[in-house]
Chain A
Amino acid sequence: MVESKTPPTVEASLTALAVSLRGVTKTYDSGVMALGPFDLTVRRGEFISLLGPSGCGKSTVLRLIAELSAPSSGTVRVARHEGEVLPGHGIGFVFQEPTLMPWTSVRENVRLPLRLAGVPKAEGRARAEEALASVGLADFADAFPRELSGGMKMRVSLARALVTDPDILLMDEPFAALDEITRFRLNNDLLTLWRSLRKTVIFVTHSVFESVYLSQRVVVMTARPGRIQADIRIETVEPRGEEFRTSAAYSDYCRRVSAALAPSYSGQSTL
């Protein structure tokens, strides 16, 4: 069952849990067991990456947290802040594809969550433009999605996820389809946003390098049905920047994460 839980006190919320999954499994109608049993706790403001081979249930974890699908067993708890009024307010979702509505402008795409929640038009437009500015697309509010590059579309998608000011940002391989330069730039921008907004981010990726660069914790998953293989904390001098990407510590972490990931691919331990 999916339950909402508000943190008991404001002081505790600094270290309070944002998301907790307990003994969660997911079996599809076809009988394929995609996940679990899977346990995960994410603290408020944490940036964690889920890393694993294709089909290991990483996306399923996000869909369960977003309540887009229900677990076959176990519990999913998502903490929501008090006084929440808008549905879906607590969670922003960035899909692998930009998933924009091609028939309307970038501004209207970003305003969509507010529009669905009944926020007045003027306020919604102002907030949409604010969100666009935060991803560096202030000048493109009137453009249509097809007029933008792949990286810009992804930024619009990110702005839409941020426009409701969610506590938790779920990102499902958002930069997988982009070229490396664009991807690095978006990685840096995402880190900057995370530092200023302090959202809880759960980031699904295929890339060892991306996961180590971005996150405070890398959760390595096994092949299907997905379980936790390793939970590696990435500790370095914050704020991270390009110098971290070229440091010895970075390559050490990448090696450790790769080693943890290897059994998921070969089926046997190489540690």
Chain B
Amino acid sequence: MNAQAAATAQPRAAQRAMRFVLPVTVFAAGLLAWELVVRIKEIPPYVLPAPSIIVLTLIKDWAVLSQSLATTLLTTLEGFVAASVGGIALALVFNQSKWVEYSLFPYAVVLQVTPVIAIAPLLLIYLEQQTAVVVCAFIVAFFPVLSNTTLGLNSVDRNLAGLFQLYGASPLQALRFLKLPAALPYILGGLRIAGGLSLIGAVVAEIAAGTAGAGSGLAYRIAESGYRLNIPRMFAALLLLSLAGIVIYGVLALVSHLVLRRWHESALGKES
């Protein structure tokens, strides 16, 4: 029995290791091929920079790029917080009143389906630049929070709702002790999507703003470097954006796991 368990555990551990090793190998092989092609064909850096040059640029331009990274991350964070608070608050209002939901939900959908890149120039005309960029991040990110929270609030166990009614729970108590905890897995799922989307919203707005002549975020650096044919710096900024997106997703996934790990199926893993 034990030997059998050990025998099945070993391939499983090996499989887990491969899930990490394989993509890393593919990544390394891709970089190596890229580096080799650039060197052998002697492609100039302003056409396609080698990975080594991109890394060197990242180090050389770190002062400028880190400043831009901080700007973009701050915008993303502001948009994310606004989207989270706004989305959850609006879902709570919808949950309390059907009339408000019927009145406003179509507009939430309209806001969601209109491409933000088309709204951004208008926002930049009417709002101060920094505000406009945050509003863009908010518009892109708030809908998943709103719809997921609404779904969660409507997914409360009917018997538990009856129990709260039996014990005379006030609407506020039912919200705090029943609806919000029951909706939490859905809310966290919405936030995970919103994190990545607010980065996208921030980047889109920065590019739109960049053509208007101001700004210092990473997306602006990419646009600016493009005009100057500073291709290595474009790649370096792009790399930072990707890393920022991965970190944002990872942090939110970790928070979700830590919050849910004691009770929700999604966080229990495969051992149980």
Contacts and interface: CB of A to CB of B under 8 A. Distances in A.
B105 interface: no
A241 interface: no
B179 to A, nearest CB: 11
A93 B159 CA distance: 11
B166 A102 contact: no
A106 to B, nearest CB: 12
Nearest to B268: A146
Highest count of chain B CB atoms <10 Å: which of A97, A102, A164: A102
Given A95-B159, A97-B159, A112-B177, A102 B167 contact: no
Contact of A144 (B169, B181, B262): B262
A88 B177 contact: no
A102 B162 CA distance: 16
B166 A144 contact: no
Interface in B233-269: 262-264, 268
B177 A102 contact: no
B37 interface: no
B181 A91 contact: no
Interface string A80-101: 0000000110010101010101
Contacts of B262: 103, 144
Nearest to A96: B159
A116 B157 contact: no
B167 A116 contact: yes
Given A95-B159, A144-B263, A101 B181 contact: yes
Given A87-B168, A88-B168, A116-B173, A102 B163 contact: no
Contact of B164 (A63, A97, A104, A116): A116
B149 to A, nearest CB: 16
Contacts of A146: 263, 268
A216 to B, nearest CB: 25
Nearest to A118: B173
Interface residues of B, number: 21
B160 interface: yes
A101 B160 contact: yes
A115 interface: yes
Contact of A115 (B157, B166, B177, B268): B177
B53 interface: no
B260 to A, nearest CB: 8
A104 B181 contact: yes
A66 B166 contact: yes
Nearest to B184: A103
Highest count of chain A CB atoms <10 Å: which of B164, B166, B178: B166
A145 B262 CA distance: 10
A160 to B, nearest CB: 8
A68 interface: yes
What band does the interface of chain A fall in when counting residues whose beta carbon is under 8 Å from B?
20 to 34
A88 B163 CA distance: 10
A117 interface: yes
B168 A116 contact: yes
A36 interface: no
Contacts of B167: 87-88, 112-113, 116-117, 164
A91 B173 CA distance: 20
A103 B181 contact: yes
Contacts of A66: 166
B156 to A, nearest CB: 10
Interface in B131-173: 157, 159-160, 162-169, 173
A113 B166 CA distance: 9
A68 B163 CA distance: 9
Contacts of A144: 262-263
B181 A68 contact: no
A253 to B, nearest CB: 32
A80 B242 CA distance: 65
A116 B177 contact: yes
Contacts of B166: 66-68, 88, 91, 93
Contact of A102 (B168, B169, B263): B263
Interface in B172-194: 173, 177-178, 181-182, 184
Going nearest first, the 8 A-B pairs with the smallest beta carbon separation are: A87-B168, A88-B167, A99-B159, A102-B263, A103-B181, A113-B167, A116-B167, A116-B169
Interface of A: 63, 66-68, 87-88, 91, 93, 95, 97, 99, 101-104, 112-113, 115-117, 144-146, 164
26 contacts: A63-B162, A68-B162, A87-B167, A87-B168, A88-B166, A88-B168, A93-B162, A95-B159, A95-B163, A99-B159, A102-B263, A102-B264, A103-B181, A103-B262, A103-B263, A103-B264, A113-B167, A115-B177, A116-B164, A116-B168, A116-B169, A116-B177, A117-B167, A144-B263, A146-B263, A146-B268
Interface of B: 157, 159-160, 162-169, 173, 177-178, 181-182, 184, 262-264, 268
Given A68-B166, A95-B162, 14 more contacts: A68-B165, A87-B167, A88-B166, A91-B166, A95-B159, A95-B163, A101-B177, A103-B181, A103-B182, A117-B167, A117-B168, A145-B263, A146-B263, A146-B268
